[in-house]
A = this chain, B = another copy of it.
C-alpha cells in the first residue's frame, strides 16, 4: 500500500534519506543486529540505512519490538552491530563515542540515586577530567536551562518523575554532546510534564545546535517534535518510511496540534504504524 494523498514518500522505499557527507553528522549503513539467545537467534534489525544531518531533530517510531532501542544502542556504541556500520562525524563507532549523550527511558535507573542532582550532572564531566571551575559552570548552566537551578542539593528520587527526567537531560546537556539520543524519554511522565519536556527538547536543540535522535511510541509526540520522522517496520526491521514534517518551526502545544496539517501527518503516521503492525513491509510492497 503506497503512501497516500500529499505526504511525500521516502526517497527509496525501504531506505532512509541519505545526505551529502558535509551535511551529515551520523550515517547508518546497512545496519543489522541479530541477538544470539538460548532459544535461537533473534533478528531484531535487518537492514537500516539513513543519515542524520547536523542539528536535525529526528523521531523514530515503530511498533513495539521493532528494534528502536536496539538501533539506538548500536548508534550509542553500547551494542556491536552484526553487520553494517555506524559512522559519527566521519569516524566509525566501535564503543561509546565521546561527543554523544544518551537519555534513557528509565530515568529512575539511569540517574545515580546516591548522588545529588548537581553531582549526577557533574559526574561525567569529572570522569572526563574537566577542571573543577568549568564543571561548576557547565552544571549550573545545564540545570538552569532545564529549570532545575533551585534543587541542586536534592537527591533524584526526591523529585517528581518529570523533574528526574529533566535532570537526565541536564546531564546530557552539560556533557556538551554533538549528538543526543533519547529512548522514549517521556513514556512514564504525566501528560502535562510531558508537554513541557517536549518543548524543552526543542529548545535545547535550537540553543545548543545539537543533533537529536528521539525514539517514541507516541505518534502525536513524534509529529509535534520532529522535523523528520523515521517509521520502522515490525521486526526484523527495515525502514518503512522516512517522513519530512513540514510544520512551521515555531511550535506550540495547543496551536500546532490544532493545525489541520498536524492531524493529517498524525493520521498518516498512525496508518503506517498500523500497516507495520499488520506485517506490511516496504520490500513486500515493491515485490507485490
Contacts and interface: CB of A to CB of B under 8 A. Distances in A.
A263 B258 contact: yes
A192 B273 contact: yes
A254 to B, nearest CB: 6
Given A254-B270, A270-B254, A217 B191 contact: yes
Given A187-B190, A190-B217, A192-B217, A267 B258 contact: yes
Contact of A254 (B191, B220, B267): B267
A280 to B, nearest CB: 16
Contacts of A220: 191
A188 interface: yes
A82 interface: no
A219 interface: yes
Interface in A259-279: 263, 267, 270, 273, 277
A158 to B, nearest CB: 15
Interface in A191-218: 191-192, 217-218
Interface residues of A, number: 19
A277 B219 CA distance: 27
| Copies, count | 2
A8 to B, nearest CB: 21
A154 interface: no
Query: By CB atoms of chain B within 10 A, which of A192, A219, A263 has the most?
Result: A192
A159 to B, nearest CB: 13
A64 interface: yes
Interface in A240-288: 254, 258, 263, 267, 270, 273, 277
A52 B102 CA distance: 48
Contacts of A277: 192
A250 B197 CA distance: 34
A63 B192 CA distance: 9
Contacts of A254: 267, 270
A206 to B, nearest CB: 24
Contacts of A160: 64
Interface string A104-127: 000000000000000000000000
Interface in A153-197: 160, 187-188, 190-192
B188 A188 contact: yes
19 contacts: A63-B192, A64-B160, A64-B190, A64-B192, A187-B190, A188-B188, A190-B217, A190-B218, A191-B217, A191-B218, A191-B219, A191-B220, A192-B217, A192-B273, A192-B277, A254-B267, A254-B270, A258-B263, A258-B267
Given A190-B217, A258-B267, 17 more contacts: A63-B192, A64-B160, A64-B190, A64-B192, A187-B190, A188-B188, A190-B218, A191-B217, A191-B218, A191-B219, A191-B220, A192-B217, A192-B273, A192-B277, A254-B267, A254-B270, A258-B263
